[in-house]
Structure 1
Amino acid sequence: MLSDLTWTNLALVQVSQKEIALLHKDANDVLMALGDFRLRFRGQDACVIDGVDLSVARGEVLCIVGESGCGKSVTAMALMGLLPSGSAEISSGTLRFDGETVDLTRDRLSSERRGGAMAMIFQEPMTSLNPAFRIGDQIAESVLQHRGGSKEQARDRTLEMLRRVGLPSPEARLRQFPHQLSGGQRQRVMIAMALANDPKLLIADEPTTALDVTIQAQILELIRDLQRERGTGTILITHDLGVVAEIADTVAVMYGGQMVERGPVAQIFDDPQHPYTIGLMESVPRLSGERARLTTIEGSVPSIDKMPEGCRFRTRCAFAVAACAERPALRDVTPGHAAACHFVPLEQHLRVAV
């Protein structure tokens, strides 16, 4: 369906041996699993996140994609226990992480896990780094909290990580403040801080936003190399399908706080099954063939208090029928590939329609 999609390396996506293995992962391979997660903000009736299930295996890169406002970052913040308890209400959700199980309606992962075994790279490093403290002190503080040891050992670890992420003149950077670094350098500092404690799970929220394409490529290559070296499970949140094709093993597509499709990256690109996923794919510029106006998804994402019942995409979907007022379950298309649409598999229904 999308064989002419050649932006970056989308047309080169192939099913790897690793992807095949991930289709058959057992319980021992799963590093993190989030089940039936529902969250609303105080004063709202509708769930911002509505029944999301996610799992990440050791060494797997899971990309969560979708438009702004679909719930990607909120889900990540909830995993890290960073949502304010006074405004965020979790009505259901179980988190299993590296042998620990937490009922998110009552508790969250221990502070030793968060920032240590589970670390996060935030979207905007300038607002995530403390402008009043030197770079070296901020990373060393995290090392001391989670690894212990002396201040000298923490400084040595900080210097080691700044070298690992390719920051030039790392000794000088230790004494600098965030405003003295470029955007790409600040992002490298955030990566160094996140990886300083050898996390088992890394969550990266739009780590290349507002960076030029050269720095974007360097940051992605850095995350991928470090992830491969350590076998770290990785959740990458992005809206950039070129990034997804470059780095993902598995893709989860979110819309309106719901999971609408998930599966191995090759299957998602080669055979998207949810109308929303198809719309995202068709909005990607093509470098081959005749020039044509980009396809767009009609309308916009409704505000949370105006989300339609059932399938939340139905007000923008060309295939919507009366039955879509009932929420569709995630249904398997092939092993490991599922979509939440009443018309799955689309090929059969489209053939019947024709």
Structure 2
Amino acid sequence: MTRSELQAEAAASGVPGSGQAAEILRLDRLSLRFRGQRADVVSDVSLRVSAGEILCIVGESGCGKSVTAMAVMGLLPENATQISSGTLHFDGETVDLRRARLPAHLRGNRIAMIFQEPMTSLNPAFTIGDQIAETVLRHRGGSRAEALDRACEMLEKVGIPSPRQRLREYPHQLSGGMRQRVMIAMALANDPQILIADEPTTALDVTIQAQILDLIRGLRRETGMGTIMITHDLGVVGEIADSVAVMYGGQVVEQGPVADVFDNPQHPYTIGLMSAVPRLDSPGGRLAIVPGTVPTIDAMPEGCRFRTRCAFATPGCARRPALADLGGGHLVACHHAPLETNVSVRA
């Protein structure tokens, strides 16, 4: 789809900027660390998702994307995790994440999650039908026959052929793309308001990846469901997102409407990520790289966590920058933003 087609679809779905969006979920200032570590693995992260909106969280491996999602879902082990701040607002309920988890009647029901690897998320000892039916019975009740009917309906909805037959099959009998569709069917079985998709296209070939993205986009149109998609693939972000949050070192460093962030990236890390994407108009050219490596959590620098890899770093970057609004909800955590003004002056 073209950019204009995506924007038209977003407006029709009631996402931000259309004047119709209603906020469904808000995460305020989540900070957490793993016990025994000196620094937060997620630091002061805030996210908002509206009806019909697809928010992509992007960044390198280890930047805190999946940990943030697991904290929202209440799936982090309590004996290994210390949450120092964070409030979740959803469906008229407010959860202080320091003291409580997402209530069980919401988890897997009103907020659902697709995990990274379907082969390890699906139980190899149970049929596909039993696993989807269990989700339905847990939250909707009813008979097993009714739950299996719902499972069959969902398999058909996500484009799996011969759904009645698939109900009796086991995960190892399905392809990777089919297993991913089963995970989506399971997540959507109770008509959630929010879907969290953690790397839903990883390890899939480009054809199946496109089919999965089309499926998620179509479900957004049909149901008005809000989606948080975690990815490291900027191509996926450009293809499907309405808004994007760029994370580095457990912090959101840039956030806003995807068109604004892609057309005018303002954080040096975002610029580095976008420069590293191969371009069709320069085949065979050398890819740009972000120099250095992500520090371990125990070696994170004070202040701006990207400053040890940043070409624009100054002594002032030892002080943590706040997320500042450059206009239109385009937020950037950089002392030098807007770069076209401040970096040129420094030069």
Which interval holds the TM-score relative to the shorter structure? over 0.9
Local SS of the residue matching 2:190: coil
Match of 1:140 in 2: 133
Equivalent of 1:22 in 16, 28, 32: 16
Match of 1:321 in 2: 314
Match of 1:13 in 2: 3
Match of 1:197 in 2: 190
Q: 1:221 to 1:24 in 2, by over 3 A?
A: closer
Q: Which amino acid aligns with 1:280?
A: L
TM-score by length of 1: 0.94
Q: 1:132 to 1:291 in 2, by over 3 A?
A: closer
Match of 1:6 in 2: none
Match of 1:230 in 2: 223
User: Aligned partners of 1:164, 1:127: CA distance in 2, in Å?
Assistant: 23
Match of 1:59 in 2: 52
Equivalent of 1:310 in 303, 317, 327: 303
Q: 1:23 to 1:323 in 2, by over 3 A?
A: farther
Give matches, 1:1-354, under 5 Å: 13-14=3-4, 16=7, 18=10, 22-23=16-17, 29-289=22-282, 291-354=284-347
Any conservation in 1 of the 2:31–2:40 contact (CA below 8 Å)?
yes
Any conservation in 2 of the 1:40–1:47 contact (CA below 8 Å)?
yes
Between the two proteins, the alignment pairs up a number of residues equal to: 343
Q: 1:25 offset after TM fit, Å?
A: 6.6
Q: 1:180 offset after TM fit, Å?
A: 1.1
Q: 1:269 to 1:302 in 2, by over 3 A?
A: same
Q: Which amino acid aligns with 2:16?
A: L
1:190-215 residue CA offsets vs partner (Å, 9 max, x unmatched): 00000000000000000010011111
Q: 1:325 offset after TM fit, Å?
A: 0.3
Local SS of the residue matching 1:16: helix
TM-score by length of 2: 0.96
Any conservation in 1 of the 2:54–2:229 contact (CA below 8 Å)?
yes
1:259-287 residue CA offsets vs partner (Å, 9 max, x unmatched): 00001010111000000000000000111
Q: 1:263 to 1:193 in 2, by over 3 A?
A: same
Q: Which amino acid aligns with 1:13?
A: R
Q: 1:181 offset after TM fit, Å?
A: 0.9
Q: Which amino acid aligns with 2:3?
A: V
Q: 1:290 to 1:236 in 2, by over 3 A?
A: closer
Q: 1:157 offset after TM fit, Å?
A: 0.4
Any conservation in 1 of the 2:15–2:50 contact (CA below 8 Å)?
no
Any conservation in 2 of the 1:25–1:57 contact (CA below 8 Å)?
no
User: Aligned partners of 2:109, 2:219: CA distance in 1, in Å?
Assistant: 16
Match of 1:5 in 2: none
Q: Which amino acid aligns with 1:99?
A: G
User: Aligned partners of 2:19, 2:106: CA distance in 1, in Å?
Assistant: 24
User: Aligned partners of 2:201, 2:25: CA distance in 1, in Å?
Assistant: 24
Q: 1:13 offset after TM fit, Å?
A: 3.4
Any conservation in 2 of the 1:23–1:336 contact (CA below 8 Å)?
no
Unmatched tracts of structure 1, length 5 or more? 1-8
Local SS of the residue matching 1:69: coil
1:235-260 residue CA offsets vs partner (Å, 9 max, x unmatched): 00001111101100000000000000
Q: Which amino acid aligns with 1:237?
A: I
Which structure would you say has the larger RCO, counting Cα contacts within 8 Å and 6 or more residues apart? 1
User: Aligned partners of 1:190, 1:264: CA distance in 2, in Å?
Assistant: 28
Q: 1:88 to 1:338 in 2, by over 3 A?
A: same
Q: 1:301 offset after TM fit, Å?
A: 0.3
Q: 1:16 offset after TM fit, Å?
A: 2.8
Any conservation in 2 of the 1:162–1:192 contact (CA below 8 Å)?
yes
User: Aligned partners of 1:186, 1:290: CA distance in 2, in Å?
Assistant: 34
Identity of aligned residues (%): 66
Q: Which amino acid aligns with 1:311?
A: C
Q: Which amino acid aligns with 1:83?
A: L
Unmatched tracts of structure 2, length 5 or more? none
User: Aligned partners of 1:289, 1:41: CA distance in 2, in Å?
Assistant: 43
